[in-house]
Amino acid sequence: MTTGNGSAGEGRRFEGKSVFITGAARGQGRSHAVAFAREGADLAVSDICADVATVPYGLSRDSDLAETVRLCEAEGAKVLSEQVDVRDYDQVKAFADRALAELGKFDVLVANAGIFTFGTLTEMSSEMFDDMINTNLKGVWHAVKAVVPSMAERQYGRVVLIGSSSSLIGYPNVGHYTAAKHGVLGLTKSLALEQAANGITANCVCPTGVHTAMLENEAAYALMSPDNPTLEAALPVLASMNAIPRSWLEPEDVTDLVLFLASDAARYITGAEMKLDMGLTAS
C-alpha cells in the first residue's frame, strides 16, 4: 500500500524528518501519520482518546492511538504518543516539549484534531459553541504555539493546518464549525506572513466531506436527511453538494495533499488555501 508518489522502492521524501500530528488516533490523522512513517519520518502523535459531551458520536480511544502507533512502527518509524486534549495548552506544550527532547527537532506540524457538531446559531448551547471553537480553532493555535518556535530557531518548518470547505463558504446548522474553520484559514495566512523569514511555510488544506467517523454517524445522517437519517439517504445528499458527484473523499486523498505541502516540492507555497473539495466551492 502506498499513498501519493512515494513507495517502499523509491526515495522517501521524509527520511530523517520529525512530524508532529494532532488528532492522529484514527481517520485523517492516522492516514497522515502512517504515510509520513512510510516515507521515512519519525512521529509524535496525539489524540484526546475520550468523548466530549457535546459531540454526538464516539471519539477516539487509547486503543485507536495504540493502533496508529503500531502501524507507524511497522513502517520503521520511531513514534512517540500521548493522550492530549488540544483545548488544554499545557497538555499540548508538555507533549511537544517531550517530543522535541526525544526527537531533537520538528520539521512538520499537521494540526488535524477536530470535532463536528450540529445546531443553529440561535439555538445551540454555549457549551457546544465553546467546545467547537476551543477544539477546532484554539486547539490549532495551541499546536502552532507549542511547535513553531523550535522550527523558527532552526529556520525550517512546514505547517499544514486542516481546514475545510467551511473555511471558504458558509453552511447552515454548523455556524460554529464554519466560524472555527474560517478562523483556521486566518491563522494560516497570518502565520505564513509572520514566519516566512524563518524558513517556515504554512498552508491550509480545505477538503469537502471526508469518509471518517465525523460524517459516518447517525447525527450527521440526520443533518443531511432529517426525514430518513440513514447512511443510504445521506450519501446522495453529500454527493449533490460536490461538482464531482461523489459523496466524500477518503482520508488518503487528503493525505496526498498534506504530504505534498510538507515536502520540498511545495517549498514556495505558503499562506494558501488548498481546495480539495470536488468543485464544491467553484461557483
Fold (CATH) for 18-210+249-276: Rossmann fold (3.40.50)
Show me where the domains of the chain are located: 18-210+249-276, 212-248
Q: What is the pLDDT along the chain (283 residues), one digit of tens a residue?
A: 334 444 444 579 999 999 999 999 999 999 999 999 999 999 999 999 999 999 999 999 999 999 999 999 999 999 999 999 999 999 999 999 999 999 999 999 999 999 999 999 999 999 999 999 999 999 999 999 999 999 999 999 999 999 999 999 999 999 999 999 999 999 999 999 999 999 999 999 999 999 999 999 999 999 999 999 999 999 999 999 999 999 999 999 999 999 999 999 999 999 999 999 999 999 8
Distance CA(143)–CA(132), nearest Å, equals 16
- Quote the pTM value: 0.94
Residues with a known catalytic role:
177
- pLDDT score of 113: 98
Contact 23, 44 (CB under 8 A): no
- pLDDT score of 8: 41
